[in-house]
Amino acid sequence: MRTSLVLLACVGFVQSLGRVPLSRLPSVRSRLRAANQLDEFLREHQPDVFSRRYAQCYPATQHYLRMGGRSTERLYNFMDAQFFGQISLGKPEQNFTVVFDTGSTDLWVPSSYCVSQACAMHHKFKAFESSTYGHDGRVFGIHYGSGHLLGVMAREELKVGSVTVQNQVFGEAVYEPGFAFVLAQFDGVLGLGFPQLAEELGSPVFDTMIAQGLLDEPVFSFYLKNNGSSFGGELLFGGVDETRFVSPINWIPVTQKGYWQIRLDVVKVQGALSFCYRSTQGCQAVVDTGTSLIGGPARDVLLLQQFIGATPTAVGEYLVDCVRISSLPVVSFLINNVEYSLTGEQYIRRETLNNKEICFSGFQSIDVPSPVGPVWILGDVFLSQFYSIYDRGHNQDLHKLQSGSSTPEKR
């Protein structure tokens, strides 16, 4: 029985849901490792790709590209993304596999006019084949470690599960930088963060769904499975699946709109180590479905790695002896006076390479400057153990968590 984590403003009975099945596939990091290219790739991209994603959590100014579009200096790090779902654009429908990412807000897919090698390996949007396409002409850019992803903006009919959105703003990528995108299992990204994170001008997908009255409740929810199978869970728009979790509900306010950001009271390692406790404000946590790992301040995570007996590799990953997993300490996150605990089996990532099992720590160092305390990132290592719900309605400043035990999986 799993503890359930729920993020919501209120939960009511929902008549209909937009249900999107999620697949779990090997991450870019895993594929690079299997191809014996991971060490070289990480050496060439030495800057901390994980922390740069959040480096603009509190931007003093907005960055612009000279071509008149908007850009960001954040780095979206999808190297470890492993949960994907399908959307379609246009009439007739053109299908794309995307990362549903609560850590960003924009929707983009490759354009048929894209000149990058990465685009040649993925589905490309063909505007000339769609009868519902609307040209926009504005440009956008997102900065990645290997350069800018560049594109033009457009409007199109979007289908996500059973929900059909009219005239949705999205980006057509005409240049995707770097080798990582070549190996990526996804075509594009559908962001589910707050509008304040948007780099494209126009309404984000979830806001458009709400504005067009397509949902019974302004809620979406994730059920993520990380049990080694290709079934990755599901994403629901418009409500929750109450068969996936058991009450009670723990209510948590969003501390700053943009990311789904909340207060984290304390992080404890089997009662022997504690982080955040020295600050009267605790820490901040970003709940991020687009990141697989759990990230924390470098000094704290280094102590945590040492305590669980993880040893560093040359490229910054941490290995754990697989035979020790059952004896590893429990790591707990105290959120609104409710403990969310992970065992070694839950925070260690297992991979098979050349018929040999390798075990990696699910924790990674980040250092995000913040005026409201240290920032932790709760990625899929954490979220795959809990059911998460995100509610933009009623009181929009509220982001809630729920504890309890999940019911047996139903498919």
Residue 53 has pLDDT above 70, yes or no: no
> In one letter, which amino acid is 183?
L
Distance, in Å, from the CA atom of 373 to the CA atom of 250, rounded to the nearest integer, reads: 22
Q: Are 84 and 173 in contact (CB under 8 A)?
A: no
pLDDT tens for 309-353 read 999 998 888 999 999 999 999 999 999 888 999 999 999 999 888
**More confident: 315 or 106:** 106
For residue 73, the Cα-to-chain-centroid distance in whole angstroms is 18
Please report which helix (H) or strand (E) contains residue 307, including its range: helix 298-307
Judged by phi (left if over 0) then psi (alpha if -120 to 50, else beta), residue 281 lies in: alpha
Q: What is the mean pLDDT of residues 71-82?
A: 55
Structure tokens at 66: 């000279």
**More confident: 117 or 361:** 361
Mean pLDDT for the chain?
81
- pLDDT at position 220 is 93
- pLDDT at position 366 is 84
Q: What is the mean pLDDT of residues 135-157?
A: 84
The rounded radius of gyration (Å) of the Cα atoms in the chain is: 20
Residue listed under structure tokens 């207060």: 263
Distance, in Å, from the CA atom of 124 to the CA atom of 164, rounded to the nearest integer, reads: 20
- pLDDT at position 249 is 67
pLDDT tens for 26-47 read 888 888 888 888 888 777 765 4
Distance, in Å, from the CA atom of 367 to the CA atom of 52, rounded to the nearest integer, reads: 9
- pLDDT at position 369 is 67
Residue 143 has pLDDT above 80, yes or no: no
Residue 90 has pLDDT above 50, yes or no: yes
Distance, in Å, from the CA atom of 323 to the CA atom of 94, rounded to the nearest integer, reads: 46
- pLDDT at position 62 is 35
- pLDDT at position 232 is 85
Residue 400 has pLDDT above 60, yes or no: no
**More confident: 25 or 8:** 25
- pLDDT at position 74 is 37
Q: Are 174 and 115 in contact (CB under 8 A)?
A: yes
Active site residue 288: yes
Judged by phi (left if over 0) then psi (alpha if -120 to 50, else beta), residue 232 lies in: alpha
**More confident: 86 or 248:** 86
- pLDDT at position 254 is 83
Q: What is the mean pLDDT of residues 51-56?
A: 47
pLDDT tens for 235-288 read 999 988 888 887 776 778 888 888 899 989 999 998 788 888 666 677 899 999
**More confident: 193 or 231:** 193
Please report which helix (H) or strand (E) contains residue 164, including its range: strand 163-175
pLDDT band, very low/low/confident/very high, at 48 (cuts 50, 70, 90) = very low
Please report which helix (H) or strand (E) contains residue 200, including its range: none
Q: What is the mean pLDDT of residues 375-391?
A: 91
Q: Of the residues 48, 80, 136, 288, which is catalytic?
A: 288
